[in-house]
Chains A and B, each alone.
Chain A
Amino acid sequence: MTTSLFGEPIERREDPRLLTGGGRFLDDLGRDALAAAFVRSPHAHARILDIDLSAAVDVEGLVAIYTWEDLPGGVGDPLPLLIPHPAMTHGRTGLPLARDVVRHVGEPIVMVVARDRYLAEDAAELIRVDYEPLPPVVGIENAAAAERLVHEDVPGNVGAHLVQEVGAAPAAIEAAPHVLEFRLDIERSASTPLEGRGVYARWDAADESLRVYSSTQTSTSVRMAVAARLGLPPGKVEVIAPDVGGGFGVKIVHPWPEEVLVPWAARLLDREIKWTEDRREHFVASAHERGQVQFVRVGFDDEGRLLGLDVRILHDHGAYTPYGIIVPIITSTQLLGPYKPGAYRVEFTSLYTNTVIVTPYRGAGRPQGVFCMERTMDRIARHLGRDRAQVRAANFIQPEEFPYDQGLTFQDGRPLIYDSGDYPEMLRKTLALIGWDSFAELREAARSRGRRIGIGLGCYVEGTGVGPYEGGHVEVDTAGRVHVSTGLTSQGQGHQTVFAQIVAAELGVPIEDVYVTTGDTRRFGYAVGTFASRAAVMSGNAVALAARKVRDKALRIAGDALEADPGDLQITDGTVHVKGDATAAIPLRTVAVLANPLRYAFDAEAQRATQFAAPADPAAPPVAPGDEPGLEGRDYYSPVRSTFAAGMHAAVVETDPDTAEIRILRYAVVHDCGRMINPRIVEGQIHGGVAQGIGGALYERMAYDPAGQLLNASFMDFLMPYATEIPRIETDHLETPSPLNPLGIKGAGEAGVIPVSAVLAAAIEDAEGIRVDAMPISPDDLFHLRLRAGTDPSLRL
């Protein structure tokens, strides 16, 4: 058993359990709990005139029905605006249950509690809500036109407006030898985890304590929110994220209405209550993302170097803004990617519409920003007749220029300073992997046989590992087991594996002895959550620092026991020994016994720590001042700012001249997330990300009709790709360690999704010779694009 596990592509330790049905998801819990169901608005915008419960109250098995009128202060207050920002002049959040106006289809109005979900839905169906329909605002352009308002007191439907500027972009563009101006569109998509949201709450009346299970990406913050809303001390609220079947961002939003209402009702009724979101609810009552219109003006020189870039973004925020303006902030800052923009001006307007709220989904605004910048690079290259890769290279930040300050403020409120990277080398690897230089011949050869193939390239930089902090706790028990806990949650990323690898390597123990717990406030109370590609960076470093504390303490105690200098000791396979002498050794489990001075021996091993077992200094207390009993350590990692991963993707597509089908022939990824803890898991993250990116590029959209009805709120009509739609993904890596954290790592979770729309748009454009300015693109879209290009030469390259 090697203890140098860091960097090894070991198999995921959680997979045998998860793949054989051993997972314990929200709906696996609380079999005897009452079930909640919700009456949700069928209108995109309406005033509630009356709620008639009379037909529902006779349903057998009904326990309770609640409307907003039933909710006490705290519970019935507007949901929090989680991330306030000075530019968010008109932030608006919903109520847990709507009071007078509903602003999107799916907004909850009535909560029904019954013996089971069937009966709860029966009762919900019998509740009659009278509405006065109000004119809905659907689509970014309608929102911007502001002929109708989503919120009466929000003029122009504008929730936020933010300008960031480095240099004088308009003047730089005016003075530039070449100027291009164009519009880009990206439609909505959504996280759509296979497991929807869910909450299960148990109230202990005698103990006056609450236990909440939630399918969340942040159990600690749900706990703070629930405790505050219910007026309970945080110490009386436990929140546990069990196995979570995917999050991808939607489960970082909290507290969801159901996360407040289910615990509240469980306490009120003194009954266990569970709500498991169904798929239709997930589509209309959780969150979506993407959804922007971008107006670009760019000035550049003969080499394609950017002189000035001016981007105006209209961002669709949906009906409310509980997560603030993180998504458009990320779009407007991460848009710059690996490039030096010259002067840069970016302005976004965040608009309300009568649709589901928009909050971060894997990539979190970056796919839109990268789409904008990479389409711009391709435009510049086509305009100058230069190679698309060369134009990118001409704009790269060079390896010797790090740390590189882009002069903007990032989503963590800190300066946008890239810590490390090597973009020219990454481009070299990418072009080699896809065979960029020889592609022109392939394209011509294919064309001569009546086939259309094209190639595309896309680059991105991703700020990962945002603060403020995460913590880790490591404890060695007297059986030699190493218990690791961290407060952030897991949704399948492989935390059981990577955190164990880190601790096993730091401590010098076999990985089989390491047990990892995440997302359980009983084990670790202080945490932020799993989002923004931050878990490995934040908790990875925190558990490493905690393990180092444990290691130092173990060496000190073992040094006393072995009468050796701790500096001469090392830990191998769970045993502390003198370097170069395996016989002068003591197992960690014994060190754990010695670390806890005992009055009582509970077993034979523990006798070694009792008062008459060994000679001790009679003048010193058994626990030295400043020391603590036990072989454990706790530490926190709090970064000064984010660390910046990067990647480049390239793809080859084929389009069918007759049916307009789009097929990905090859997909290549080169990725740099600093030091890799486990390359297998990094590749898995890339594969999953690319798959979601392909979904967003070629299949998924939210089909709202003008009345605000979501027409494809099921997996039959929302086309999440299957494995059959995803090509083999070829990967290569680059490792430029982050200088910002002890392990030198950068985040990898979102990376794969980020440039896919940009890359596929470029490849389709290359195959077709027609400009692609809007994504996603379906065969029907391409068919119509061809028709338009047939009559409008400006659409042709």
Chain B
Amino acid sequence: MKPPAFAYHAPDTLGAALAALAEAGDGGKVLAGGQSLVPLLNMRLAAPAELVDINRITALDTLEVTAGGVRVGALARHSRVERSDAAAGVQPLLRRALENVAHPVIRNRGTVVGSLAHADPAAELPAVLALLDGTVEVRSATGRRTVPAGAFFTGPLESALLPGELAVSAFFPALPPRTGTAFRELSRRHGDYALAGVAVTVGLDEDLRVATARAGYLGVAATPVVLDLTGPALAAQEGRPAGECDWAEVGGYAAARLDPEPDIHASAEYRRTLAGVLTERALRAAAAEGGRSDS
């Protein structure tokens, strides 16, 4: 479990990093927190010819919180974002998801943008970005582009990033008023990748009835899955306050629309059932929170 030889670049500036990535082309790989990449290298499951280590580019270690949302720079560690009260105030799902990312020592090294770029369908942050319709800011030696979450995750461990490109930041939009959120996942051991997980938002109207309900799933498909559950939620509500909504019915509706794969830890059937239960629990919690946030 030792990696094969690779060329190692450790630029101080974004420009130098982009130049190195441009030079490396197909054989280039970005090293940020290294919590996923380094095991892949050691197990020789990935063998990039050139590694571009961005840990010295302090200009990427940013966390900008505005009324519109949270912009996380490529070098901001999970733990920094998790601990930011300002970020949690604007977009509570960030902290709620990050608390479920592995263990504290891993969150001290791993980065939010690195997790998005790694595009593991069982990871928490891709599901959150997808649910919130966030974006990823991408730079290369020749230009820049903004990729919406819906187009960013293209497959298991596959993103829209092209050779030579670096994801420099991700933007998580702020929560609208009277909106509650919740994050629920179930993993075999504390900190493991979840068997299934869900992030939800529930928006209420001025009478505290459900106006919108959305869910973003992890661990149930090759990429994050977002379901708009507003219709079934409205049906299950039958005009009652959100607190009395039949959330189990909405969970069942969601489960019926998911098609997870089996693996050695859980069957597809269990995962689907679990996703439904987690959906129900998350929606109920989010609806309750949405009601409270109004007062």
Interface, chain A (partner B; CB < 8 A)? 117-118, 121-122, 125, 278-280, 658-661, 699, 703, 711-712, 714, 716-717, 719, 721-722, 724-725, 778-780, 783-784
- In the bound complex, residues from chain B placing their C-beta under 8 Å from that of A778 are 188, 265-266
CB-contacts of B1-29 with A (<8 A): 1-5
Asked whether B191 is an interface residue with its Cβ less than 8 Å from the other chain, the reply is yes
- In the bound complex, residues from chain A placing their C-beta under 8 Å from that of B191 are 722, 724
Known contacts A117-B2, A125-B4, A125-B44; is-contact A719 B270 (Cβ 8 Å)? no
- In the bound complex, residues from chain B placing their C-beta under 8 Å from that of A280 are 1, 43
B258 CB to nearest chain A CB (Å): 15
> Can you name 19 A-B residue pairings with CB atoms under 8 Å?
A118-B2, A118-B5, A122-B4, A125-B4, A278-B1, A280-B43, A660-B270, A661-B186, A703-B264, A714-B43, A716-B193, A719-B265, A725-B190, A778-B188, A779-B270, A780-B195, A780-B265, A780-B266, A783-B273
B203 CB to nearest chain A CB (Å): 26
A722 touches B2 (CB 8 A): no
B277 touches A658 (CB 8 A): yes
In the A-B complex, the 9 residue pairs with the closest CB atoms: A724-B190, A278-B1, A703-B264, A780-B266, A118-B2, A658-B277, A780-B270, A783-B270, A121-B2
A779 touches B266 (CB 8 A): yes
Known contacts A280-B1, A711-B264, A712-B264; is-contact A699 B189 (Cβ 8 Å)? yes
Tell me which of A659, A703, A784 has the highest count of chain B C-beta atoms within 10 A of its own C-beta: A659
With A and B bound together, what is the CA distance between A721 and B188 in angstroms?
Answer: 9
With A and B bound together, what is the CA distance between A627 and B273 in angstroms?
Answer: 79
A780 touches B267 (CB 8 A): yes
Asked whether B274 is an interface residue with its Cβ less than 8 Å from the other chain, the reply is yes
- In the bound complex, residues from chain A placing their C-beta under 8 Å from that of B238 are none
A659 touches B277 (CB 8 A): yes
- Proximity bits, B18-47, A CB within 8 Å = 1, else 0: 000000000000000000000100011000
- In the bound complex, residues from chain A placing their C-beta under 8 Å from that of B2 are 117-118, 121
- Among residues of B, the one whose C-beta sits closest to the C-beta of A279 is B1
B111 CB to nearest chain A CB (Å): 19
- In the bound complex, residues from chain B placing their C-beta under 8 Å from that of A721 are 189
Asked whether B261 is an interface residue with its Cβ less than 8 Å from the other chain, the reply is no
- Among residues of A, the one whose C-beta sits closest to the C-beta of B251 is A658
- In the bound complex, residues from chain A placing their C-beta under 8 Å from that of B43 are 280, 714
A713 CB to nearest chain B CB (Å): 10
Known contacts A122-B4, A778-B265; is-contact A784 B270 (Cβ 8 Å)? yes
B5's partner among A117, A122, A278 (CB-CB below 8 A) is A122
CB-contacts of B161-190 with A (<8 A): 186, 188-190
B252 CB to nearest chain A CB (Å): 12
A717 touches B264 (CB 8 A): yes
- Among residues of A, the one whose C-beta sits closest to the C-beta of B281 is A658
Known contacts A780-B265, A780-B270; is-contact A118 B3 (Cβ 8 Å)? yes
- Among residues of B, the one whose C-beta sits closest to the C-beta of A280 is B1
- In the bound complex, residues from chain A placing their C-beta under 8 Å from that of B4 are 118, 121-122, 125
B99 CB to nearest chain A CB (Å): 13
B285 CB to nearest chain A CB (Å): 15
With A and B bound together, what is the CA distance between A595 and B50 in angstroms?
Answer: 69
- In the bound complex, residues from chain A placing their C-beta under 8 Å from that of B269 are 783-784
With A and B bound together, what is the CA distance between A47 and B5 in angstroms?
Answer: 32
- In the bound complex, residues from chain B placing their C-beta under 8 Å from that of A699 are 188-189
| Total A-B pairs, Cβ < 8 A | 69
- Among residues of A, the one whose C-beta sits closest to the C-beta of B248 is A658
With A and B bound together, what is the CA distance between A783 and B266 in angstroms?
Answer: 10
- Among residues of A, the one whose C-beta sits closest to the C-beta of B190 is A724
Asked whether B133 is an interface residue with its Cβ less than 8 Å from the other chain, the reply is no
A477 CB to nearest chain B CB (Å): 45
Q: With A125-B44, A719-B188 given, can you name 17 additional A-B contacts, CB distance below 8 Å?
A: A117-B2, A118-B4, A121-B2, A121-B4, A122-B4, A659-B277, A661-B186, A703-B264, A716-B39, A717-B265, A719-B189, A719-B265, A725-B189, A778-B265, A780-B266, A780-B270, A784-B269
Asked whether B192 is an interface residue with its Cβ less than 8 Å from the other chain, the reply is yes
A719 touches B186 (CB 8 A): no
B204 CB to nearest chain A CB (Å): 25
- In the bound complex, residues from chain B placing their C-beta under 8 Å from that of A278 are 1
- In the bound complex, residues from chain B placing their C-beta under 8 Å from that of A279 are 1
B107 CB to nearest chain A CB (Å): 15
- Among residues of B, the one whose C-beta sits closest to the C-beta of A660 is B270
A719 touches B5 (CB 8 A): no
- Proximity bits, B259-295, A CB within 8 Å = 1, else 0: 0000011110110011001100000000000000000
- In the bound complex, residues from chain A placing their C-beta under 8 Å from that of B195 are 779-780
With A and B bound together, what is the CA distance between A280 and B1 in angstroms?
Answer: 8
With A and B bound together, what is the CA distance between A778 and B186 in angstroms?
Answer: 12
- In the bound complex, residues from chain B placing their C-beta under 8 Å from that of A118 are 2-5
- Among residues of B, the one whose C-beta sits closest to the C-beta of A703 is B264
B192's partner among A122, A661, A714, A719 (CB-CB below 8 A) is A719
With A and B bound together, what is the CA distance between A125 and B266 in angstroms?
Answer: 33
- In the bound complex, residues from chain B placing their C-beta under 8 Å from that of A711 are 264
A779 touches B186 (CB 8 A): yes
- Among residues of A, the one whose C-beta sits closest to the C-beta of B276 is A658
With A and B bound together, what is the CA distance between A661 and B190 in angstroms?
Answer: 13
With A and B bound together, what is the CA distance between A171 and B206 in angstroms?
Answer: 79
- Among residues of A, the one whose C-beta sits closest to the C-beta of B42 is A278
- In the bound complex, residues from chain A placing their C-beta under 8 Å from that of B5 are 118, 122
With A and B bound together, what is the CA distance between A783 and B273 in angstroms?
Answer: 9
A659 touches B274 (CB 8 A): yes
With A and B bound together, what is the CA distance between A716 and B278 in angstroms?
Answer: 23
- In the bound complex, residues from chain B placing their C-beta under 8 Å from that of A719 are 188-189, 192, 265
A399 CB to nearest chain B CB (Å): 42
With A and B bound together, what is the CA distance between A280 and B191 in angstroms?
Answer: 21
A784 touches B3 (CB 8 A): no
B164 CB to nearest chain A CB (Å): 27
A722 touches B186 (CB 8 A): no
With A and B bound together, what is the CA distance between A699 and B187 in angstroms?
Answer: 11
- In the bound complex, residues from chain B placing their C-beta under 8 Å from that of A784 are 267, 269-270
- In the bound complex, residues from chain B placing their C-beta under 8 Å from that of A714 are 43
- In the bound complex, residues from chain B placing their C-beta under 8 Å from that of A722 are 189-191
A443 CB to nearest chain B CB (Å): 23
Tell me which of A125, A279, A280, A719 has the highest count of chain B C-beta atoms within 10 A of its own C-beta: A719
A785 CB to nearest chain B CB (Å): 11
- Among residues of B, the one whose C-beta sits closest to the C-beta of A783 is B270
- In the bound complex, residues from chain A placing their C-beta under 8 Å from that of B274 are 659, 779
B272 CB to nearest chain A CB (Å): 11
With A and B bound together, what is the CA distance between A712 and B43 in angstroms?
Answer: 13
With A and B bound together, what is the CA distance between A362 and B134 in angstroms?
Answer: 51
- Among residues of B, the one whose C-beta sits closest to the C-beta of A724 is B190
With A and B bound together, what is the CA distance between A658 and B5 in angstroms?
Answer: 49
- In the bound complex, residues from chain A placing their C-beta under 8 Å from that of B192 are 716, 719
With A and B bound together, what is the CA distance between A61 and B50 in angstroms?
Answer: 22
- In the bound complex, residues from chain B placing their C-beta under 8 Å from that of A783 are 267, 269-270, 273
- In the bound complex, residues from chain B placing their C-beta under 8 Å from that of A724 are 189-191
With A and B bound together, what is the CA distance between A271 and B29 in angstroms?
Answer: 38
- In the bound complex, residues from chain A placing their C-beta under 8 Å from that of B39 are 716
B250 CB to nearest chain A CB (Å): 14
- Among residues of B, the one whose C-beta sits closest to the C-beta of A35 is B2
- Among residues of B, the one whose C-beta sits closest to the C-beta of A787 is B269
With A and B bound together, what is the CA distance between A658 and B277 in angstroms?
Answer: 7
- Among residues of A, the one whose C-beta sits closest to the C-beta of B274 is A659
Tell me which of A117, A721, A724, A783 has the highest count of chain B C-beta atoms within 10 A of its own C-beta: A783
- Among residues of A, the one whose C-beta sits closest to the C-beta of B1 is A278
- Among residues of A, the one whose C-beta sits closest to the C-beta of B192 is A719
With A and B bound together, what is the CA distance between A717 and B273 in angstroms?
Answer: 22
With A and B bound together, what is the CA distance between A37 and B269 in angstroms?
Answer: 42
B49 CB to nearest chain A CB (Å): 14
A659 touches B189 (CB 8 A): no
With A and B bound together, what is the CA distance between A779 and B267 in angstroms?
Answer: 10
B165 CB to nearest chain A CB (Å): 28
- In the bound complex, residues from chain A placing their C-beta under 8 Å from that of B273 are 783
CB-contacts of B189-221 with A (<8 A): 189-193, 195
With A and B bound together, what is the CA distance between A117 and B278 in angstroms?
Answer: 46
- In the bound complex, residues from chain A placing their C-beta under 8 Å from that of B44 are 121, 125
